[in-house]
Amino acid sequence: MMVRQRAALQAVVWGGYVAISLAMLASFQPVTATFVFVMLALGALLWGASEGLRALALRQAWLDASTRALLLRVALWPPLAALAVQAVLYGINVAGLALGLLSFPRSTPQGWGVLLGYTMNTSIMLWLWLAVWVGLQTLQRWRLGEIAKWQAEAAARALELQVLRAQVNPHFLFNALNNLRALINEDPVRAREMVSRLSNTLRHTLTHSARERVPLADELAVVRDYIALEQLHHEDRLRVDWQVDPAALAASVPPMLLQLLVENAIKHGIARTPGGGEVGITLRREGGRVTLTATNPGHWAPGSPDSTGLG
């Protein structure tokens, strides 16, 4: 809350307290200038005491403490502040009487019992003020926490999208969408199948990227979808020889490992070969070791230009 807004709110709270107190006093006895002055002084002292409690709570981080410690501080500090307020007010009254600036009717109650009653009244006001302040601060912290949580969730979704963009070759995605657009008119049934395969590929990329390891059987399923989409683009130029050992499918591997191998085999062996060729995919388990192999008919050429991955 801004300083001016807080000052205005404090003026309303303690000004209202002074006004109500004077109105109640007027129902019992005439209100003199002395009573008005004393009540205004009390309102100003309560304003200062409440600001002091607020500053103390912030400096000592009351809201970061345990519930027990917070309740203990809220219970103890207002009476101490009320004692200080009444002590200062008593000094003002004594000085005013000595200087002849103040005069109280002889019927005005006096004594330690009256002072204790005033102190209790002041303590109650400061307790109420502090309880409201703690409640508002707690509510504000909760709201800020909710906003921070929403921002973190939005950032996480944005990061997931970045991961998806980084892991899915844009070249593959653009080609798949263009081929699907053409296939919708030619073969709607097959087009629906290819849409499902593309959906499976993207879903696998997004959901499995956050995991350290995934079953090889899941990786193989998404690679079959990926190859079906690539065959839609390359047609007869892309042939696949599968050599899959069922015993290897129970193994777990890093996500996207097999797909990246197959993607590179197609990109560097089929796409750059005029007549296309055959990609060999071998999954083999020997004892506790699993071997993944992807071969292509291409030849390594040093200094080959890197693709931009677009279009």
pLDDT digits (tens, 9 = 90+) for 171-210: 777 778 888 888 888 888 888 888 888 888 888 777 766 6
Higher pLDDT, 110 or 23: 23
pLDDT of amino acid 210: 65
Give the up-direction half-sphere exposure of residue 136: CA atoms within 13 A in the CB hemisphere: 9
Domains and CATH numbers, the chain: 3-154 (no CATH), 170-295 (3.30.565)
* Cα–Cα distance for residue pair 237/94, rounded to 1 Å: 106
Enumerate the β-bridge partners of residue 295.
Answer: 280
pLDDT of amino acid 131: 92
Note the pLDDT tens digit of each residue in 213-232. 888 898 889 889 888 888 88
Could you give the C-alpha distances from 63 to 71, 170, 234, in angstroms and in order? 10, 50, 65
Residue 81: pLDDT band (50, 70, 90) is: very high
Note the pLDDT tens digit of each residue in 52-63. 999 999 999 998
Task: Assess whether pLDDT exceeds 90 at residue 288.
Answer: no
pTM for the full model? Answer: 0.48
Of 41-55, 206-220, 297-311, give the range with the top mean pLDDT.
Answer: 41-55
What are the backbone dihedrals phi and psi of residue 61, each rounded to the nearest 5 degrees, phi first?
50, 55
pLDDT of amino acid 1: 56
Q: What is the mean pLDDT of residues 30-57?
A: 88
Task: Assess whether pLDDT exceeds 80 at residue 10.
Answer: yes
* Cα–Cα distance for residue pair 59/235, rounded to 1 Å: 72
Task: Assess whether pLDDT exceeds 90 at residue 265.
Answer: no
